[in-house]
Structures are given as C-alpha cells and as structure tokens.
Chains A and B, each alone.
Chain A
Amino acid sequence: MEKLNILVLEDDKLAQKVMSAHLAGHNIDLAGDLKTALKKIEGGKYDIGFFDLMLGPDDEHSGLKAIAAAAAKGVYCVVVSSSDSDEIIDRAYALGANDFYAKGNEESNVSDILRKFLQNRKAAGARDIFSYAFITCDPETKAAASEALKYAPTELPVLILGPSGTGKTALAKILHEHSGREGAFVSINCSAYTEDLLEAEMFGHKKGAFTGAHETCKGRLLEAHKGTLFLDEIGTMGLNMQMKLLKAIEERSFYPLGSEKPEHSEFRIISATLEDPQALIAQGKMRFDLFQRVHGYTINLKPLTRRACDIAPLVQHFTSGRRRLAFTPEARAYMENYSWPGNVRELKKFVDLISSGSEGRIDINEVKKHLKGRDGGQPALAREDGLYSYAMTNGLEAALEKVSGEIISRNLRENEGKKTKTMADLKISTRLLYSTLKKLGIEPEGVKK
C-alpha cells in the first residue's frame, strides 16, 4: 500500500486515537489545536488533511482556517466534524475542502476517502490514457471520458452510449481498471444470446438444470463479484430478463438455474448501447426501473466521422510496432472525410488491409480501393453538403425523403432484398417501405419477403 503523509487536526484525544487507528500504515501527524496545525501545514508536505472544525468548547469553527491554509498548499482536505449545518458545509467547501463527513462512521468513511484519493492520484499520474488505451485527441471526447473517469472509483453505474465500433468496451475496461475494484472485469454481449441462454449465462446454472447443462456453470454475475459487470448491447435484452436482472441488482443476490440456494455478488454495472434508451423506454422495450438502475453517469461517444482528428493518431496506434504507413495529403483528406460507418473498428480493419496489401506511400486510389463500396466512395462531408443543397433547392421534406430512400435502399441491399428484415431493422411499416420504394422507382420484384 502506498504510504501517505496525513495531517489530523483534532482536539479530542479519543478521536485522535480513533483516527490514528484507521490511518495506521501511513505517516500521521497529529495537531490538537489550530496554531500547531498551521505550523505543521507551513513546514510539512501532506497528501491529505483531516480537519475537525470546533477545537475546544468555546471555539467558533477555527478549524476552517486550517483548511484554507492546507488547500492553498494542495493538500486534499477532508472535514470530519459534528458540525453539519449547511452554512458550515458551504464555508468549508468555499475555503477549499474536498470532502465533508459527519463524525461517527470513521471505519467506512476513512477507508473510502483513502481509496478515492489513491485512485484519483493513480488516474492523474498514470500515462495519458488518450495516447495508449483510448486514442483520441478530440477535445469533446477527451472531456467526456475524463469526466467519466472521475466516477471510476465510485459505485455509480455508468451507461456508455454510442454507435457500434466507437470504443464503448475499451472505455468500460478503462473505467474498471481505474475503479480500484479487486474483482474482475466481466463482459457479456446481451445481443449474442437468446433470452434463455442469456439467463443461464448471467445467473449460471446447476448441472442438469436444462438439456445440455452437462456441468455446473458459475455465471457472469458471480464472476463479477467485487468487480465490474459490463453489459454490452443492453438495449437488446428481453423484458423478462430485464426484470430478473433488476431484482439481482437490487437484492445483490440471485438463484442460478436449477438451484435453490441463492448466490451473492457485489458487482458494479457498466452498460452500453448503440440505441437511444429513452426511445427504447417509449417503445416499451426497456424497463424504466432498469434504466434508472444503470444510468448513474452517462457518456456519449461520438462516431469517428465527427472526430476526424482521431484518424491519424488511431492509424499510428494500430501500426505501432509494425510497418508504419504514410499517406499522401489527398489520401489523408479522403480518409478524414469518409463517413466510417463502422467507426474505429472499421478503421482498424482498413489499416490491417492497407498494411498487408500496400507498398510505399499510400495514395488516394489505394485508399479508395479499400473504402469504396462501403460508403459509395463518397466522402461524408461532401455528401452532407450535397444533401444540404438538395434541401435548399427541393425543400426539407424532399431531402428527408431522399435520406429515407437511401437508408431503405442500402438496408434492402444488405439484407439481400428481404423486406421483412428491412422493416424490422429500420422499425418501419409496410406502408412506408412500399411508398418509399415507389417514390424511388424501385419495383418490389427481386425484393424478397
């Protein structure tokens, strides 16, 4: 354990003794009055200061003066006091206090404070995560991820929103690594299982619980004990399963399939979805109470096309230790304007293709060869400009129809003309599908049901 230099300002001898016991293993300096504390702050170098406010029977919260002095020297100031009026709390925070705790629960409070402090320091002192674990130089994405990192050492659930391939899983892992949780990072992609299989995967099962259950299986919830449970694509989870998961979260216990003995697990939830949770709730596909349980802090990851500045550093990261790539300015511009529908995952595949199949400096033709067909080879910005001009000429409604038509056409192509699949994918009615096809002049023939 890292040894910290800690100052405790406390006039009560018994309270001093209690704090010393809870801070055992660190370098502790005790001050029983303000004068001694100020002298120690001036001459010492402390990481954390614990401050009582009323120092003696007739004292008027003189401990506040020590907070101001310590905060000015960069000490992490924690008030531990029986004075808990809003006015005093406000004054303490205004003077630079970082935390304020009521006396009487030192056993859990002190350990929480030390854990939080050490984690925050680790996060701040660690290598810049944006240059090795979550590559981005986009200020907005950096700010959002940094803000999320502040919640890493807490119990707060985190919901990560963003299109597929934007780094939701990578961010979840980073949050776990910075959480200080002793358990494992356990990830489960909810969309990869049928409801029955998902239940067995999550809660585990006893041998013989169902056909094919040849062995007893622990289940992901139990694997995540004291760790993090990452629920990827939570929006695809069935309502019945959502209810069971909610119960397990609330009660911190659950029954594996075929077992009458409940299992206990303390896991922190990080979840991710590419869908809009509010829309899922409105459509009755997501329980509001589950949403409430999983969205303590929400972070929204932008698609790659809206953070084009990340393309070059990502390419550099993907080729680190391998053949380095050099692009002509035209090729670079094309890449920066490309829409990258598969986001970072698509860029990674592109880099793998280019690295293995190209020689020398990579020009625009080489880039187009690998990106053509996925996006019609048309740069995103150019397309947006074109669409804007179209709307200005033909009106917004016509432009929206054009976009709908393009999306429907593309989806039909990708689904090899299967209309029912397209209606399900795009959540559209038969009427809208047929009217769009008619407007586009596409005959429904060749389009499979």
Chain B
Amino acid sequence: MTSTPDSGKLLHDLRSKCSSLKSAAELYKDCSAAEKKEMLALMNAAAAEIVKILAQIDKA
C-alpha cells in the first residue's frame, strides 16, 4: 500500500498507540491492584483507539 500523507499520520498514531500498549503491558505485572485497574482501563481505551485507527487505515 502506498502511504498518502493521511495514512502516514495514521500509521504514526498506530505505532505510537501500540508502543504505549506494549510498554504498559510490560509494567502491568508490577502494578498495585488499584493501579492495575486504572492501567487496564487506559489499555482498553488504547486498544479501542488502535481498532479505530486500523479501520481508518483500511478505508484510506
């Protein structure tokens, strides 16, 4: 797929969100129960964003 400027930005967002998710997953096991809850909520939100971005990439 040839990247248009828009898809370039989408791919950047995708990389960024995935990186955060990966780093958060590495931290997760060492979090306290309360932090785990907060972290999980944020990870879920990031995962939802990733799904959204993937859909946009698919359309682009």
Question: What is the interface of chain A, defined by CB distance below 8 A to chain B?
Answer: 12-15, 17-18, 21-22, 52, 54, 57-58, 81-83, 102-107
Query: A58–B20 contact, CB under 8 A?
Result: no
Interchain CB contact (< 8 A) of A17 among B17, B22, B26, B38:
B38
Query: B16–A12 contact, CB under 8 A?
Result: yes
Interface centre among A13, A14, A83, A106 (most CB of B within 10 A): A14
Interchain CB contact (< 8 A) of B24 among A18, A57, A105:
A18
Interface flag for B42 (CB, 8 Å):
yes
Contacts of A52 in B (CB 8 A): 16
B20-45: which have CB < 8 Å to A? 20-24, 26-27, 31, 38-39, 42-43, 45
In Å, the complex CA distance between A336 and B15 comes to 64
Interface magnitude class on chain B? 20 to 34
Contacts of A22 in B (CB 8 A): 27
In Å, the complex CA distance between A81 and B13 comes to 10
Contacts of A106 in B (CB 8 A): 23
Interchain CB contact (< 8 A) of B15 among A13, A18, A21, A82:
A82
Contacts of B16 in A (CB 8 A): 12, 15, 52, 54, 81-82, 103
Measured CB to CB, the closest approach of chain A to B48, in angstroms, equals 11
In Å, the complex CA distance between A83 and B13 comes to 9
Contacts of B18 in A (CB 8 A): 104
A-B contact pairs, 24 of them (CB 8 A): A12-B16, A12-B17, A14-B21, A14-B24, A14-B42, A15-B16, A15-B19, A15-B23, A17-B24, A17-B42, A21-B27, A21-B31, A22-B27, A52-B16, A54-B13, A58-B9, A82-B12, A82-B19, A83-B12, A103-B16, A104-B15, A105-B23, A106-B23, A107-B23
| Given contact pairs A58-B9, A106-B23, A107-B23, A14 touches B45 in the complex (Cβ within 8 A) | yes
Measured CB to CB, the closest approach of chain B to A218, in angstroms, equals 33
Contacts of B20 in A (CB 8 A): 12, 14-15, 18, 103
Interchain CB contact (< 8 A) of B19 among A13, A17, A21, A103:
A103
Interface centre among B16, B39, B45 (most CB of A within 10 A): B16
In Å, the complex CA distance between A54 and B16 comes to 10
Measured CB to CB, the closest approach of chain B to A72, in angstroms, equals 27
Measured CB to CB, the closest approach of chain A to B14, in angstroms, equals 9
A52, closest chain B residue (CB): B16
Contacts of A57 in B (CB 8 A): 9, 13
